[in-house]
């Protein structure tokens, strides 16, 4: 799968209002001074000096922002302190959000060889989020790639307590897994947010166990709400699926996978899953949206797996720029010149074999919907149809267009 939103307000009175208030007083004084009669030169000079000094104080206040009064320095400092204390602190929301979610984020230890006596540094580490408590058990969301290949699993709470974890279910396609642990001493569960309401630029926090440094907090913004990134489900370098993710510039490192991406209300709006790790690349981290996560989680809690349709075809793309077919291979398919895209059958088993599909058949449509690539074939099967449906498959064999009907079965466990 991969390596591993705010309006603030202030209760301060604006400077303009304070200055205008004093300006009105000045205008009240000025006419009275001008209406006097028979004043001596000395009196006029004195009044002028007072007015000049008053205007100078006003100008000084406007320029520096300090109160236009004769208060002593310590009195001015006390006034400013009171104003700061009464103003909303924008960073306090970060602190409160972190405090709300921290107790629900755990570290996941994957003992791939079953040897619990080796140090944590030698084990595979990741993160998880406690999202539910029921009948004495606590349930944790993490990534499938965090627990993949595990002989034994443990969860380490924010207080350092280690708990043996049991796998409830996992889904490789969406990269989500659910674990259960003893619920003793676990009091808090995460509140899941609505990732569909995310906005570009919202402030978010990432909480997890990067590089074994548990209970680590980083912050950033939502860089993109629904980025589509290609992934290799088999991690063989061939992109065979597309994942919809939240892009963030909050620092995500190895070990953050499975941890929480949190909004300023302290709600989990995503599960951190991967980052782009390359020379010169910074601030490109990704999280699976909470709405998508919970759909998968509900399936895993109910059935232990996500049931998907299965056609039984091993294939390659007819038009693949990374691994193009050679000229003699294309000639062997005997395709019409106008057929440029499709899926070449390398092997047919199960439903596909029963429907008569075979080696070198080139599939071009499912139910009259174009199928240009293996990826589009999977997206059609996972998103458009369900187990037990019959799909009309249009394909070419020896240069001739044919159709057959395939009844979809449930995809077997891998």
Yes or no: say if 301 and 139 are a contact pair by the CB < 8 Å rule: yes
**Structure tokens given for 123:** 């084990």
Give the residue ranges of DSSP H helices in 36-165: 41-64, 73-86, 92-101, 144-147
306 contacts 171 by C-beta, under 8 angstroms: yes
372 SS3 class = coil
The Cα 302–Cα 290 span in angstroms is: 18
Percent helix, percent strand, percent coil in the chain, to nearest 5? 30, 30, 40
H helices within 102-171, ranges in order? 144-147
Strands 241-248 and 285-289: antiparallel
61 is catalytic: no
To 5 degrees, how large is the angle CA 99–CA 103–CA 104?
115
Active-site residue (options: 257, 315, 317, 361): 257
d(CA 61, CA 69) in angstroms, rounded, equals 9
The answer to whether 171 and 273 are in contact (CB under 8 A) is: no
Find all residues with CB under 8 Å of 281, minimum gap 6, and list them: none
Residue in 107, 127, 175, 180 annotated catalytic: 175
Rounded Cα distance, 179 and 188, in Å:
16
Cα atoms in the Cβ-side hemisphere of radius 13 Å centred on 149: 8
Question: How far from each other are the two terminal CA atoms of the chain, in whole angstroms?
Answer: 16
Q: Which helix (DSSP H) or strand (DSSP E) does residue 315 occupy?
A: strand 313-317
Contact of 409 with 381, CB cutoff 8 Å: no
Residue 171 falls in the annotated catalytic set: no
Residue located via tokens 């591993």: 4
DSSP string, 44-62: HHHHHHHHHHHHHHHHHHH
Report the distance separating Cα 198 and Cα 176, nearest Å: 21
Q: Is 74 a catalytic residue?
A: no
Buried/exposed 251-264: b ≥16 CB within 10 Å, e otherwise = bbbbbbbbbbbbbb
Q: Which helix (H) or strand (E) holds 26?
A: helix 15-35
Given the residues 107, 123, 127, 145, the one annotated as active site: 145
Known catalytic residues are: 145, 175, 257
């Amino acid at each position: 799968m991969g390596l591993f939103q705010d309006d603030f307000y202030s209760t301060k009175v604006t400077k303009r209002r304070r200055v205008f208030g004093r300006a009105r007083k000045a205008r009240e004084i000025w006419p009275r001074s001008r209406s006097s009669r028979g004043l001596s030169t000395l009196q006029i000079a004195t009044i002028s000096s007072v007015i000049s000094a008053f205007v100078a104080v006003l100008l000084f206040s406007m320029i520096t922002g300090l109160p236009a009064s004769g208060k002593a320095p310590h009195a001015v400092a006390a006034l400013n302190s009171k104003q700061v204390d009464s103003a909303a602190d924008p960073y306090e929301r970060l602190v409160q959000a972190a405090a709300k979610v921290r107790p629900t984020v755990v570290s996941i230890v994957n003992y791939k060889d079953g040897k619990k006596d080796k140090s944590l540094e030698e084990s595979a580490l990741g993160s998880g989020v406690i999202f539910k408590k029921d009948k004495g058990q606590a349930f944790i969301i993490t990534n499938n790639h965090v627990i993949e290949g595990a002989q034994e699993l443990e969860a380490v709470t924010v207080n350092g307590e280690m708990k043996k974890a049991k796998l409830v279910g996992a889904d490789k396609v969406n990269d989500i897994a659910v674990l259960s642990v003893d619920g003793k001493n676990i009091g808090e569960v995460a509140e899941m947010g609505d990732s569909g309401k995310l906005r570009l630029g919202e402030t978010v926090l990432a909480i997890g166990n990067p590089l074994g440094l548990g209970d680590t907090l980083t912050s950033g913004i939502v860089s993109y709400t629904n980025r589509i990134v290609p992934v290799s489900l088999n991690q063989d370098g061939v992109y065979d699926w597309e994942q919809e993710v939240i892009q963030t510039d909050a620092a995500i490192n190895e070990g953050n996978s499975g941890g929480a991406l949190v909004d300023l209300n302290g709600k989990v709006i995503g599960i951190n899953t991967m980052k782009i790790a390359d020379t010169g690349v910074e601030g490109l981290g990704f999280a699976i949206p909470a709405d998508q996560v919970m759909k998968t989680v509900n399936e895993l809690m109910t059935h232990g797996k996500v049931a998907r349709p299965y056609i039984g075809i091993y294939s390659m793309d007819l038009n693949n720029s990374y691994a193009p077919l050679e000229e003699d291979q294309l000639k062997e398919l005997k395709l019409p010149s106008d057929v440029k895209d499709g899926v070449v059958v390398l092997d047919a088993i199960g439903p596909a074999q029963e429907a008569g599909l075979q080696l070198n058949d080139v599939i071009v449509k499912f139910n009259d919907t174009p199928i240009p690539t293996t990826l589009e074939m999977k997206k059609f099967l996972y998103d458009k149809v369900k187990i037990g449906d019959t799909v009309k498959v249009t394909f070419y064999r020896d240069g001739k267009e044919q159709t057959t009907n395939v009844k979809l079965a449930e995809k077997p466990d891998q």
